[in-house]
Amino acid sequence: MKLRLLAIGALLFSCFSVFGQSSEFDAGGFDAMRIENEIKLAVPNEIVDSVWKYLTTRYDNDNLFLKEFDPGFSTKIAEDFFTDQYYDNEEMQLLKRQFGVRHRSRYVLTDTTDRKHGRQLLQVKVNDIDDNMLNRAEYKYPIKYYGTPDTPIDGHPLFRKIQRDQRKPLADRLNELGIDGFSLFPTILIKQLRQRVYVSLNGAPFATMTLDGVTASFGGQSTHYTELELELNEINYTLGDSTARAKMEKINEQIKGDLLATFPSIKQDQTPKYNKGFEALGLKDFSSRPFLGVQEEYLSVGLIFFLLLVTFLYDRLEKKAWEGQAEAQPREAQ
């Protein structure tokens, strides 16, 4: 009986280890590592329309060439709009290591009833996780707004947006990467109109082909470029064994080869959008960032109230000092 209870306990422990949110390998939940395998292609702006027309034709369900590999492949078209506010510090640690910390807002333009429409997340992207140059680690954290700040951390430009029970896991995760989370402030804002082809295999998500019209902004400057991402479904890729991953990667390479053969001016460039935006904007650092390091659209009502309060108190103190001087002058005259 005792051995049976021990066996059941061990089984339950292993289940929680595999499926719990804190597990590094469950590919689900918050503060859990997912592996993102993605081919990034730079697309000249002048051929964007031709590339999208090709994608919608080549990957149309009635004439889908992927069925040569498996008849279970199918596709659907969608259009999204993403807003990504990136964060970094004075030392530009994230930029230099090609990491990313961003607050993402997503809007599904083709279906506002989609469960992901309006979703917001904080994402941490980590480079150089293994020998595969296409692989990055991703950690996700829930966004929640609490209104009036109750504690000092509620006023931090990054942590004030994070669900309170996830703030410590986020800080710990960043600390593991050698980054002080409290040193981070908003930097480049990236907006993307994303035209997407979703690829499924036997009804399960397999990959996405996303043509991104990217606008990067910082300090009153903005720039535009276009990128095509070929991304394998991160959950299925993370959970897959080496054989399953190799099969997924092979088909993604076939998709890339087909595109490059059709559009020779497209070039593979694995540089993250954050770094591309920094370079395209001609930045050297973030010394030109807005007041208090906060983009204008992220000035919260609380911060505005704080600034008004400081102005009011300063005015009162100045007025009191002036009245004190006015009273002192008659005495001195006597």
Give the whole-angstrom CA distance, residue 83 versus residue 120. Answer: 9
Note whether 178 and 93 are within 8 A (CB).
Answer: yes
Note whether 174 and 32 are within 8 A (CB).
Answer: no
The structure tokens listed for 49 are 């329309």
Neighbours of 101 (CB within 10 A): 26
Domains present along the chain, CATH in parentheses: 22-314 (2.40.320.10)
Core vs surface per residue 195-233: b (16+ CB within 10 A) or e:
bbbbbebeeeebbbbbbbbbebbbeeeeeebbbbbbbbb
pLDDT (0 to 100) of residue 25: 36
Would you list the DSSP string of 171-209? HHHHHHTT--GGG-EEEEEEEEEEEEEEEEETTEEEEEE
pLDDT (0 to 100) of residue 150: 84
Give the whole-angstrom CA distance, residue 135 versus residue 129. Answer: 7
pLDDT (0 to 100) of residue 306: 61
pLDDT (0 to 100) of residue 321: 52
In 3D space, the residue among 16, 34, 32 whose CA is nearest the CA of residue 173 turns out to be: 32
Element (H, E) at 49: helix 48-58
pLDDT (0 to 100) of residue 147: 84
pLDDT (0 to 100) of residue 205: 95
pLDDT (0 to 100) of residue 314: 53
pLDDT (0 to 100) of residue 149: 83
Would you list the DSSP string of 81-114? EEEEEEEE-TT-HHHHTT-EEEEEEEEETT-TTS
Instruction: Kindly give the parts of the chain with pLDDT less than 70.
Output: 1-28, 290-334
The structure tokens listed for 1 are 């009986």
In 3D space, the residue among 197, 231, 253 whose CA is nearest the CA of residue 36 turns out to be: 231
